[in-house]
Chains A and B, each alone.
Chain A
Amino acid sequence: MVKDTRTIPIHQIRKGEPAWVKALLITGAIGILVILIGIPVLHVFYRAFENGLKAYWTSLTGNRDTLHSIWLTLSIAPRAVLLNLIFGVAAAWAVARFRFPGRTFFLALIDLPLAISPVVAGLFFVLLFGMNGWFGEWLDAHGLQVLFGTPALVLATSFVTLPFIVRELIPVMEAYGDEEELAGISLGASGWQMFWRITLPNIRWGLLYGMILCNARAMGEYGAVYMISGRISGLNDTMPLRVEKLFQEYDMAGAFALASLLTLLSLVTLGLKTFLDKKYPVHEKSKEGQE
């Protein structure tokens, strides 16, 4: 066994730091985390449950519009993840396996949704599908409702979460290389056989990881969805939109109950991600089977 240097505690590597510097840095970092993240999260749960479990349950299920927003978010997020799954695998494959003109530009374009404000992204879709937009008239003439409907919500959410799966897959695919795939082909596998039996098993953990991140972001999306949803309660309000609306209407119990549920979903996601990180570190996984 080779000793893993990462397990050596930091204080053994850097002995020079005086104790007070260490203490200051650690307290500072923890303090900021507690103030900015710990307290607000705990507060959300405190406010949600301050009137007891029964009140909490009533706030969540007693309001039909709130229930509808939960259902809408839970139905949009998986669809956005699915779209990004297909796009992500295809795009990562293209980038990792081929050198084509405009490849760098393509990579930059993938990152665009991370850099751009979601509100602006939402505006794009209004420009595309709105009545005065590029496709608006044509869609209207064919009786298709995109804007304000579920299709627009799925599209906007997919746009905002686009980089997550691709960005996760490219390093994984580059790390394990194309030799196994070529070996499969030389052994007589068809393109699909190669994908299902060789490529997919090799990228599965990276893919799952990307999907989890993508899902977390999709459920919490606010800005882009705000622009295109129409915000009609019980029709096209998603959970984050509904939280905002309840808050504006001074329904604090309802707002915090729904907010706590949204937070809980994020925490579950985070837990899953941490679990995967520990169990299948992406980079070590991709080195297996080599030398």
Chain B
Amino acid sequence: MSITVKNVSKRFGHFQALDRVSMEVPSGTLVALLGPSGSGKTTLLRVIAGLETPDDGTVLYQDQEVTSQSARDRNVGFVFQHYALFRHMTVFDNIGFGLSVRKWPKEKIAQRVNELLHLIRLEGLEGRYPNQLSGGQRQRVALARALAAQPKVLLLDEPFGALDAKVRIELREWLRRLHDEIHVTSIFVTHDQDEAFAVADRVVVLRDGRIEQMGPPTEVYEHPANAFVMDFLGQVNVFQGTASESGPQITGFSDVKGTPVKDFCSNTIYVRPFDLDIVHELNGQAGLAGKIIHITPAGGVVRVHLQDLHSTARVLVEMNFARLKEMGLTVGKQVGIVPKKARIFTPDYMI
């Protein structure tokens, strides 16, 4: 079932949590609401769930308007940030709660709960209480409980926020596989861009109650709509420079190729760590002279932290491990930093 949000606004006192937000979630997709804290992502999720009433605007499930419907009648599955499991009930009763309030017969409840226990791989733990489970197990119980009554929509608020790094990654991959199996329209809130990119079909980036950009992960990553999105999506190097019709001029770099821009003004120039390269000698090439101060491996890549010899600014470069070995780069070495790609944004995003 598709979800449409039209011009939704919500205020808490003087705080504008949502400001005329509109978006569409196609049926069967998994969408991530991504943004820093206070960006309105959780409020948007709660408005969609019916746990919060918007001051203005409408929410539609398929073609049906549900804005004034209570959460109870919307048949959504909601997974809370801290799970909100019923602590006085066993795992079995937690999962079966949505069915028992709907007056399902006992045998059918047992059948459905067992099915879900199998799905979340917690068979045999149905008699436990929430405080006897690990964080990851609680999270899965919360998910099973939300899925029990076969909701039309699954909403998850920071679903992996309270888990440690390893369990986080396992669970998010499991969530993706689960989604591929059951195809329920799902929206989850996160502040972690890796998580959003790893799991979602579409990413919606929010800031200060507004949508900054939405689209498939690759598109958002490749073509960030503005400086905020660029900055938020990961570590980025910031240089001062000017944009001209022939391309950006980065202060310090002598000549850098980039996308030509129309406006002629002083600007901040953003370069992703992966769009910089390291060479032994500049040999008149456009670039900065830098000294390696730190090398950290991060998954498949290596992060090289350098110091610009002129401005003493820090520069971060990402490269693959093989190339680092081949070039024999070590801490303390003086090298040249050359850009492959740079990106310029207009000043109204500079605060």
Task: Write the chain B residue with the least CB distance to A191.
Answer: B72
Task: Write the chain B residue with the least CB distance to A200.
Answer: B88
Taking the complex as formed, is B97 at the interface, i.e. its CB lies under 8 A from any CB of chain A?
yes
Separation of A184 and B72 alpha carbons in the complex (Å): 9
In the complex, the answer to whether A180 meets B72 with C-beta atoms within 8 Å is no
Separation of A185 and B76 alpha carbons in the complex (Å): 10
Interface size class of B (residues with CB under 8 A): 20 to 34
> Which among B70, B85, B97, B149 is the interface contact of A289 at CB below 8 angstroms?
B85
> Which among B72, B86, B145, B149 is the interface contact of A185 at CB below 8 angstroms?
B72
Least CB distance from B230 to A in Å reads: 34
Task: Write the chain A residue with the least CB distance to B87.
Answer: A289
* Contact status of A189 and B78, CB under 8 A, knowing A182-B71, A182-B84, A288-B87: no
Least CB distance from B95 to A in Å reads: 10
Q: B25-50: which residues lie under 8 A (CB-CB) from chain A?
A: 49-50
Taking the complex as formed, is A19 at the interface, i.e. its CB lies under 8 A from any CB of chain B?
no
> Which among A176, A180, A193, A288 is the interface contact of B101 at CB below 8 angstroms?
A193
> Using Cβ atoms and an 8 Å threshold, which residues of chain B touch A189?
72, 97, 101
Taking the complex as formed, is A201 at the interface, i.e. its CB lies under 8 A from any CB of chain B?
yes
Task: Write the chain A residue with the least CB distance to B97.
Answer: A187
- Number of A residues, CB within 8 Å of B: 21
> Which among A179, A188, A288, A291 is the interface contact of B72 at CB below 8 angstroms?
A188
> Which among B72, B88, B135 is the interface contact of A186 at CB below 8 angstroms?
B72
Least CB distance from A124 to B in Å reads: 37
In the complex, the answer to whether B98 meets A201 with C-beta atoms within 8 Å is no
Least CB distance from B12 to A in Å reads: 10
Least CB distance from B305 to A in Å reads: 34
Taking the complex as formed, is B51 at the interface, i.e. its CB lies under 8 A from any CB of chain A?
yes
In the complex, the answer to whether A187 meets B70 with C-beta atoms within 8 Å is no
Separation of A63 and B130 alpha carbons in the complex (Å): 56
> Which among A179, A184, A288, A291 is the interface contact of B97 at CB below 8 angstroms?
A184
Which of B84, B86, B135: most chain A Cβ within 10 A? Answer: B84
Least CB distance from B151 to A in Å reads: 9
> Using Cβ atoms and an 8 Å threshold, which residues of chain B touch A290?
82
In the complex, the answer to whether B72 meets A182 with C-beta atoms within 8 Å is no
Separation of A179 and B149 alpha carbons in the complex (Å): 19
Taking the complex as formed, is A272 at the interface, i.e. its CB lies under 8 A from any CB of chain B?
no
Separation of A163 and B27 alpha carbons in the complex (Å): 52
* Contact status of A180 and B97, CB under 8 A, knowing A185-B71, A187-B149: no
> Using Cβ atoms and an 8 Å threshold, which residues of chain B touch A248?
none
Separation of A193 and B87 alpha carbons in the complex (Å): 16
In the complex, the answer to whether B80 meets A190 with C-beta atoms within 8 Å is no
Interface string of B95-139 (1 = CB under 8 A from A): 001100110000000000000000000000000011100010000
Least CB distance from A280 to B in Å reads: 12
> Which among B80, B82, B102, B131 is the interface contact of A288 at CB below 8 angstroms?
B131
Taking the complex as formed, is B242 at the interface, i.e. its CB lies under 8 A from any CB of chain A?
no
Q: A127-186: which residues lie under 8 A (CB-CB) from chain B?
A: 176, 179-180, 182-186
> Using Cβ atoms and an 8 Å threshold, which residues of chain A touch B77?
186
Task: Write the chain A residue with the least CB distance to B78.
Answer: A186
Interface residues of B (CB under 8 A from A): 49-51, 70-72, 75-78, 80, 82, 84-88, 97-98, 101-102, 129-131, 135, 145-146, 148-149, 162
Residue pairs across A and B with Cβ atoms less than 8 A apart, 21 shown, are: A179-B84, A180-B84, A182-B51, A183-B85, A183-B145, A184-B86, A185-B70, A185-B72, A186-B76, A186-B77, A187-B101, A187-B146, A187-B149, A188-B98, A193-B101, A202-B87, A202-B88, A288-B130, A289-B86, A289-B87, A289-B131
Interface residues of A (CB under 8 A from B): 176, 179-180, 182-190, 193, 197-198, 201-202, 288-291
